[in-house]
């Protein structure tokens, strides 16, 4: 399912991030019973080395909130320089399918490379119950390897693939515990697909914040969670994401490279990404949005316009 071009793109994206930090060169330790004292997402995403590194785009984002009758959350950070943008960084949003990126990451962390080739199967009933499953629906009779399922979850946002991987890592509770080990005590993983898309804002179930997700993705790319080969593989899958063209990628300046994982349901539309300008330092960007009218459909253009505003600040 992977191409040589996407593999090279992933490696090119990864190299500058690895250069920022020397940690993460060995295999990750097994998941302990208690969370390990890794750096928290808030510390990762707000580690600003010099005054004035935080850039204010609040006026432009407030305008978009009014125009779209929506609530916007943004957290962006450039690890090499400490420059950042934050807008409602600690507001909770439903994460929808963006969580699939972290399902795949924890799968890579837990499952040795040889075991990822194991072929597993599922039923037509599993596919019907899970909903959107463009890859697994075509392989009910043959199954796929676990690694192919992880790729399908990230690139194609396949629900059945996600649920199979969740089972392999201990279900929603297993992923929730893993995120706590990474230092994220904000994100609350409660349910599998498709129930995770039914978000009650009076509860924390299946919600996160922009700061938490940017911290998690920064940890994945620049910390001890994954060894370099698995980081490159995860970025390769993100670089081939089939569902993100109208989101952050659409708002990025010409020539900038975007590797992302999208998510959306009902009024929610989200995207999380590694964005790299030509010859520049990569940055991590989380855009979480929801329409204020719960019956309104999400709008891809909102995410694209938010990305354009945020990325223009880094382009200056």
65 is a catalytic site residue? no
Alpha helices in the chain (DSSP H): 4-20, 41-45, 58-68, 100-110, 124-130, 146-155, 159-168, 171-182, 210-222, 228-239, 248-251, 300-315
Look at residue 287 and give its three-state secondary structure: strand
The tokens describing 256, both together, are: 């900038």
Q: Which of 97, 133, 157, 262 is catalytic?
A: 97
Distances (CA, A) of 156 to 10, 107, 133, 235: 17, 17, 8, 14
Q: Which of 106, 193, 236, 305 is catalytic?
A: 193
Q: Quote the CA–CA distance of 210 and 231 in Å, as a whole number.
A: 21
Q: Quote the CA–CA distance of 236 and 4 in Å, as a whole number.
A: 10
67 is a catalytic site residue? no
Q: Quote the CA–CA distance of 179 and 297 in Å, as a whole number.
A: 30
171 contacts 144 by C-beta, under 8 angstroms: no
Specify the length of the chain in residues: 316
220 contacts 231 by C-beta, under 8 angstroms: yes
What are the catalytic residues?
A: 97, 193
């Amino acid at each position: 399912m992977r191409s040589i071009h996407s593999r090279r793109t992933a490696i090119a994206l990864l190299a500058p991030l690895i250069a920022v930090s020397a940690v993460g060169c060995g295999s990750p330790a097994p998941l302990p019973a208690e969370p390990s004292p890794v750096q928290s997402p808030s510390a990762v995403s707000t580690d600003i080395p010099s005054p004035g590194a935080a850039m204010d785009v609040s006026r432009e984002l407030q305008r978009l909130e009014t125009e779209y009758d929506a609530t916007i959350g943004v957290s962006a950070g450039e690890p090499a320089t400490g420059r950042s943008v934050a807008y409602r960084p600690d507001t909770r949003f439903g994460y929808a399918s963006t969580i699939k990126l972290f399902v795949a990451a924890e799968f890579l962390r837990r499952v040795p490379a040889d075991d990822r080739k194991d072929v597993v199967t599922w039923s037509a009933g599993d596919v019907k119950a899970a909903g959107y499953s463009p890859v697994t629906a075509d392989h009910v009779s043959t199954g796929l390897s676990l690694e192919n399922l992880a790729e399908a979850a990230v690139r194609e946002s396949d629900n059945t693939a996600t649920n199979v991987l969740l089972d392999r890592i201990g279900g929603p509770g297993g992923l929730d515990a893993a995120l706590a080990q990474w230092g994220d005590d904000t994100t609350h993983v409660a349910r599998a697909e498709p129930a995770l898309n039914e978000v009650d804002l009076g509860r924390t179930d299946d919600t996160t914040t922009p700061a938490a997700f940017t911290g998690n993705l920064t940890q994945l790319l620049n910390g001890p969670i994954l060894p370099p080969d698995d980081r490159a593989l995860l970025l390769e899958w993100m670089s081939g994401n089939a569902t993100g063209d109208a989101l952050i990628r659409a708002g990025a300046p010409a020539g900038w490279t975007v590797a992302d994982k999208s998510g959306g349901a009902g009024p929610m539309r989200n995207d999380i990404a590694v964005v790299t300008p030509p010859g520049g330092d990569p940055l991590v960007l989380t855009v979480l949005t929801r329409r204020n009218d719960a019956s309104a459909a999400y709008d891809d253009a909102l995410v694209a316009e938010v990305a354009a505003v945020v990325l223009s600040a880094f382009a200056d």
